[in-house]
Structure 1
Amino acid sequence: MTIPSHKVEQRMRHFETVCREEGIKVTQQRIEIFREVAQTEEHPEADKIYHRVRDRLPTVSLDTVYRTLWLLNDLGLVATLGSSREPTRFDANLERHHHFVCRQCGFTRDFVSNDLDSLVLPESLCSFGNVEQAQVQVRGLCRDCLEKERT
């Protein structure tokens, strides 16, 4: 599923503004890599981003994609999700939201929940450090995987 074009363009303008404010060159490769994350709800892994961008920019390297994604993360333009045992996935949606992840195929989508947003975190979290953000990740089977199990 793709993001509405006005939302993608809003994200692209924000990307360019942040890069300029931070003194980061806005190169064609960086634009295309960010656009690939900004235009989808898939939360793609770096490999998938690389293959899609390479179709448009054949000279882009996987290393450039990784370095750019981590730069975008450092600039606060994308967020990462996934555990240390899974490939890192990238998300350009920085608005408050949560994630559904299919435990079988990895399908990942955002969802919004006012109830989860107002979740009171336990005081015991303070022993780990200062909580800056909380997102809920719900795991289960997506419709496609459920359908495959039924057949």
Structure 2
Amino acid sequence: MRMETIHIQRQIQHFEQRCKGAGLKVTHQRLEVYRELLGARDHPSAETLYKRLERRLPTLSLDTVYRTLATFEKLGLVHRLETAASQARYEVLHTRHHHFLCDVCGQVFDFFWPSFDTAELPSNVGEIGTVDHASVVVHGTCTACAQAQQEYDARQAESLQ
């Protein structure tokens, strides 16, 4: 059995244990929303998840997806990432990482920053309150969008000559 398959099976077992521990039934809809999110690498929104699942689950509603994601977030099964456009994007919690958000195309890229993860918070943060977790969202322009803009600028410059 491939390592990825074993990892997915462990994640599903963890999901089932968390739901049962919280007194929630592991319904077919909950399981399918979690599976879809587990396999996603693009940090989908609730709307995107709904569109991906609606053919397989014709009785699923967008409201159910929103409520399910909120439940998963409370259980610590998923992480909600707020974007500049105020559209939440979701991912299954796995390894510690941070996010690069392209402000042009909206793609979210994962990156690792071990020195940030091991840095101590400033002492005055403790005076403000208790920190549950810390993560970084870096905003910028991805390489593909920057290259497309450069090509567009070059074409514009040529047409002016």
Report the TM-score, using the length of structure 2 for normalisation.
0.83
**One-letter code of the match for 1:37?**
L
The 5-angstrom pairing of residues 1-151 of structure 1 reads 4-82=4-82, 86-151=86-151
Q: Distance in 1 between matches of 2:61 and 2:137?
A: 31
- 1:61-109 per-residue CA deviation (whole Å, 9 max, x = no partner) reads 0000000000111111111111586111111024321111111111112
Contact residue 99 and residue 136 of structure 2 kept, 8 A = yes
Contact residue 41 and residue 110 of structure 1 kept, 8 A = no
The Cα shift of 1:133 comes to 0.9
- 1:47-67 per-residue CA deviation (whole Å, 9 max, x = no partner) reads 001100112111100000000
**Structure 2 vs 1, CA of residues 150 and 85 (structure 1 numbering), >3 Å: closer, same or farther?**
closer
Greater than 4 Å deviation, 4+ residue runs = none
Q: Distance in 2 between matches of 1:100 and 1:85?
A: 14
Contact residue 84 and residue 103 of structure 2 kept, 8 A = no
SS in 2 for 1:56: coil
Task: Say which is worse superposed, 86-95 or 49-58, in terms of deviation.
Answer: 86-95
Task: Say which is worse superposed, 139-148 or 77-86, in terms of deviation.
Answer: 77-86
Report the TM-score, using the length of structure 1 for normalisation.
0.89
Structure 1 unaligned blocks of 5 or more: none
SS in 2 for 1:109: strand
Q: Give 1 or 2 for the bigger CA radius of gyration.
A: 2
SS in 1 for 2:55: helix
Q: Distance in 1 between matches of 2:98 and 2:5?
A: 22
Q: Percent identity?
A: 39
SS in 1 for 2:90: strand
Structure 2 unaligned blocks of 5 or more: 152-161
